[in-house]
A and B are shown apart, each in its own frame.
Chain A
């Protein structure tokens, strides 16, 4: 007879369910990967009730002592599974975490009765619900051939959604404008599609209203522009309530420390002095976008 052993100070499956949806949605919105880990006792059927009870408590307490404040630890309803949601963490980080705690568990004498196995699910999209997640992980862990202390992976949800990014190029020189446009149109950034538009001066950009939508928006502009110059556009964009969605690259032919400093203080993400290397610009943009997802 398997009496369920519930640790009172631990979150329970049904309590976490509601949180999961919020966490999952915030993954999309904030572009911060979340990783779920499920543990199962590899030797759950052995030992007496009391022993099992003890082991259970030990695991709960141990896990609780190891997680960060941003991680959410809970126990599943069946009593032999534990789950942790690691917010803002990728699979790599979580794997390192698992390796670390497994090493401790294997080494310390007081934990010698404990044998665990784990499965990792990296979550980057919102096509997963709580039940399926549990189901899939339980299935993985149910496989009796899986050796103790091993780490399984579920990769079904690690694909991030493709996001549309608006790109505005504001540059007075028609030929260079075209060069930038072609270059950025050909830029291949995984999981982002770039929607490139060009403007010859600041005023026509502000007239276009394209910057008012909620999309992420990359602005590549010159500091000196006819009719509303770059610094003013910078100021207008950074004053908007959702200014965080703008990634602003400012190009300038003014090679003076003061001008650079002003631009960064005003809120540009990159200040590039002309002439610059196009490949460098591409790399910088790629890097900027790569940083968005863990």
Chain B
């Protein structure tokens, strides 16, 4: 028995150690790539590009899609921030996804919506559209009232109604910077359409002073839980997004703010309605399509902070969010499992998908195992101390050092929180991450996985949850 336990401990300890080293090395690589990419832009004056491209002559018109399900509070501000976008040609399409609150009335009253007859071309089959309205104040603002069908269905309706070659999906509760669209469209314009989808860098709005769709000041919020999420976002951004984007390996661009070429999105079948992570699903489907048609197209991530969104403030909501994210991730990866290590899909199959499987998806199990190992080793006595301590040190590198590095690097380049006090507070809090935040999120993500495994059988009648639950992929 003792021998068996011994073997077990060495075996698991070895696997976990090896895994941790692997993850750390891959994160380090991505961090270095991100640093090289970002360092170049340090202190570059971005307004030059912005000013040149405000003229309709250089840009392409974009349809902005705002799906709203029970968003009576947030939707008006979101639309305002869209109206304030500096972009030559846009149309705003608000899609009321059969809300049960007064979303429809609020929008109608606020923007003076009048019913209109409009010819809608059904590119993607959707639920029934009840009525289309047009604003009296803003001629480019349209409201579509439809039967409830979930966020993906609402977005598909938006795509059908839209008249421009690009569309941008925006969550009903996020606020955009006035230059967001200009910047997110930049790779698309500059590549003459070689980039067919682009996502922006999502920031957490808690603590920022906002009024009528404009962010006036950014302060670090007081809630530690929110600060931890801010650190997490910036880490995901530096150790992941940028590096993946450089090699056209992006699999997730957040649904909270991303632009797609309509042509490609429609051909990829639009948003899938029967899956949790519809944004990831669309990206993967587009990747598949690109490979199938053997065209040279890219999906990019734009490092500029562009979209502000409210993060969960309480453990309960955060738990829900993370569980769903992870379930969604697992579900999408599982659905496309045949792509993994499939030579047909090139680097996506050999790098991107394995990365998501090993690091993002299965990571929590191993890491949580590591935590359990440390606790168990502590009770089993001296002989395992060394492995445990090593594991602990790796956790320190993985959790603390990477976090601090991201905080500092982001502060250097983007300077989102200009106050010195805020910076120091973030650094101090990063030291505590491995003791509470990390284990908690790991646990929730494992829960998500278990839910995925258990729910697999009742796919078809999985209940749709509204957008109001505020879920955004990091």
Contact = CB atoms under 8 A, between A and B. Distances in A.
B83 A231 contact: yes
Contacts of B86: 224, 253
Interface in A239-254: 253-254
B213 A227 contact: yes
Interface string B53-90: 01111000000000000000000000010011110110
A203 interface: yes
A227 B212 contact: yes
A106 interface: no
A231 B137 contact: yes
Contact of A255 (B56, B85, B140, B212): B56
A190 interface: no
Interface in A213-235: 224-229, 231-232, 234-235
Given A203-B212, A253-B54, A262-B140, A229 B83 contact: yes
Interface residues of A, number: 21
Contacts of A254: 54, 56, 88
Contact of B211 (A203, A235, A255, A256): A203
Contacts of A203: 211-212
B165 to A, nearest CB: 16
A201 B212 CA distance: 11
Contacts of B139: 258, 262, 265
Contacts of A226: 84, 178, 212-214
Contacts of B57: 255
A259 B57 CA distance: 14
Contact of A229 (B56, B84, B140): B84
A266 B137 contact: yes
A266 B140 CA distance: 12
Given A255-B55, A256-B89, A227 B137 contact: no
Nearest to B57: A255
Nearest to B85: A224
B138 interface: yes
B83 to A, nearest CB: 5
A226 B84 CA distance: 6
A229 B54 CA distance: 17
A189 B139 CA distance: 35
A254 B137 CA distance: 17
Which of A203, A224, A262 is most buried by chain B, counting CB atoms within 10 A of its CB?
A224
Given A203-B212, A254-B56, A225 B89 contact: no
Contacts of B54: 253-254
Nearest to A261: B139
Interface in B89-141: 89, 112, 136-140
Nearest to A226: B214
B225 to A, nearest CB: 29
B47 to A, nearest CB: 12
Given A224-B86, A229-B84, A231-B83, A258 B140 contact: yes
Given A254-B54, A265-B139, A227 B88 contact: no
B17 to A, nearest CB: 53
B56 A227 contact: no
Nearest to B110: A232
Contacts of A266: 137
A123 B93 CA distance: 55
Contact of A227 (B136, B138, B211): B211
Contacts of B140: 258, 262
A235 B212 CA distance: 17
Contacts of A259: 88-89
A191 B451 CA distance: 78
Which of B57, B83, B112, B178 is most buried by chain A, counting CB atoms within 10 A of its CB?
B83
Contacts of B178: 224, 226
B84 A225 contact: yes
A158 to B, nearest CB: 43
Contacts of B84: 224-226, 229
Contacts of B83: 229, 231-232
Contacts of B55: 255
Contacts of A229: 80, 83-84
Given A227-B214, A255-B56, A235 B88 contact: no
B325 to A, nearest CB: 33
A235 B56 CA distance: 24
9 contacts: A203-B211, A203-B212, A226-B214, A228-B80, A229-B80, A229-B84, A235-B136, A253-B54, A258-B140
Interface of B: 54-57, 80, 83-86, 88-89, 112, 136-140, 178, 211-214
Nearest first, the 6 A-B pairs at minimum CB distance are A226-B214, A227-B212, A256-B56, A235-B137, A262-B139, A227-B214
Given A255-B56, A258-B139, 4 more contacts: A224-B178, A227-B214, A255-B88, A262-B140
